[in-house]
Amino acid sequence: MDTTQLFSLQGRSALITGGSRGIGRMIAEGFLAQGARVYISARKAAACDQTAKELSAFGHCVSLPADVSTVEGAHALAAAYAKHEDTLDILVNNAGAAWGAPYDEFPESGWDKVVDLNLKAPFFLTQALTPMLRKAATDHLAKVINIASIDGISVNPQETYSYAASKAGLIQLTRRMALRLAPERIAVSAIAPGAFASDMNKDARDHGDTVKARIPAGRIGTPEDMAGAAIYLASRAGDYVMGSTLIVDGGVSHAR
Q: How far apart are the first and last CA of the chain?
A: 40
Beta strand 186-193 with 37-41 is unpaired
Q: Please check whether residue 98 is in contact with residue 200, taking contact to mean a CB–CB distance below 8 angstroms.
A: yes
Quickly list H helices, 56-120.
71-82, 108-115
Alpha-carbon distances, residue 194 vs 102, 177, 222 (angstroms): 23, 23, 11
Q: How many helices (H) and strands (E) does the chain have?
A: 10, 7
24 closest CA partner among 78, 59, 61, 73: 61
3-class state of residue 136 by DSSP:
helix
Helix pair 121-136, 71-82: axis angle to 10 deg: 30
Q: For residues 102 and 104, give the distance between their C-alpha atoms in angstroms, rounded to a whole number.
A: 6
217 closest CA partner among 248, 180, 184: 248
Residues annotated as catalytic are 163
Q: For residues 12 and 176, give the distance between their C-alpha atoms in angstroms, rounded to a whole number.
A: 25
Alpha-carbon distances, residue 143 vs 172, 199, 206, 244 (angstroms): 17, 27, 33, 13
